[in-house]
Copies of this chain bind each other. A is one copy, B any other.
Amino acid sequence: MGKKKKKKKECVCSSLLNVFHLALSLQVTVFEQEHFQGKCLEFTSECCNIQECGLDNIRSIRVESGAWVGFEHHDFQGQQFILERGEYPHWDSYSGSLSYHVERLMSLRPIYCSHQSSRMIIFEKENFMGRSVELCDDYPSLQGMGWMMPEVGSMHVQCGAFVCYQFPGYRGQQYIMECERHSGDYQHWRNWGSHCQTPQIQSIRRIQH
């Protein structure tokens, strides 16, 4: 029931966002084989299932413009991978987590970053409770900037978009947080992504075009 509601919301967001994405001429080229070989496809907006587009899998990626997020499963489920402009010749160039071996991307979508600035609040406990700190920069170590624990309870993205990482130095599991999705509210670690299994977050950075 909750999932159904969430899915409906995603669809409404997507159709609205695609207008902006086309205007921004976002573009990514995905390849069926590593090192930019084999069948390839270009996208300027989201793809919810790469197999329905005629590719078995995505094994290498060239991001021409914009910021994108790739997903382990179709319909934007499973592990998330931030994809910014540049070349990703094989799965370990876009994955940041070695503990959970994923060699495929099945769906991808652009990240909507209309704001010049990004701002979010992190909370000590779930449901936006406990100690809080406002973030508007990049933080390779949350503990280094004064957040004393290796976990975050909940988050609210006020504007822009961020990538949150399990470990310091932008490593480990990645979670894309956007003000345009879920109204920017991430009240529990289970909302950070369908692959999320821990509240551990130790580095956070802005997503910028």
CB distance from A171 to the nearest CB of B (A): 6
A170, CB-defined interface residue at 8 Å: yes
A124, CB-defined interface residue at 8 Å: no
A110, CB-defined interface residue at 8 Å: no
Q: Which residues of B contact A86 (CB under 8 A)?
A: 141-144, 150, 167-168, 202-203
Known pairs A63-B168, A168-B63, A170-B170; A141 contacts B84 (CB<8 A): yes
A98, CB-defined interface residue at 8 Å: yes
Determine whether the beta carbon of A93 is less than 8 Å from that of B172: yes
Across the interface, name the chain B residue whose C-beta is closest to A64.
Answer: B143
Choose among B90, B140, B167 the residue that contacts A99 (Cβ–Cβ < 8 A). Answer: B90
Choose among B88, B94, B167 the residue that contacts A93 (Cβ–Cβ < 8 A). Answer: B167
A96, CB-defined interface residue at 8 Å: yes
Choose among B168, B205, B209 the residue that contacts A88 (Cβ–Cβ < 8 A). Answer: B168
Encode contact with B along A192-209: 1 for CB under 8 Å, 0 otherwise. 000000000011010011
Determine whether the beta carbon of B88 is less than 8 Å from that of A141: no
Determine whether the beta carbon of A96 is less than 8 Å from that of B99: no
A95, CB-defined interface residue at 8 Å: yes
Q: Which residues of B contact A94 (CB under 8 A)?
A: 167, 169, 171
A161, CB-defined interface residue at 8 Å: no
What are some 18 contacts across the A-B interface (CB < 8 A)?
Answer: A63-B141, A63-B168, A84-B140, A84-B169, A85-B143, A85-B144, A86-B142, A86-B168, A87-B150, A87-B167, A90-B99, A92-B98, A93-B172, A94-B169, A96-B96, A138-B138, A138-B205, A140-B205
| A residues with CB within 8 A of B | 63, 82-88, 90-99, 138, 140-144, 150, 163, 166-172, 202-203, 205, 208-209
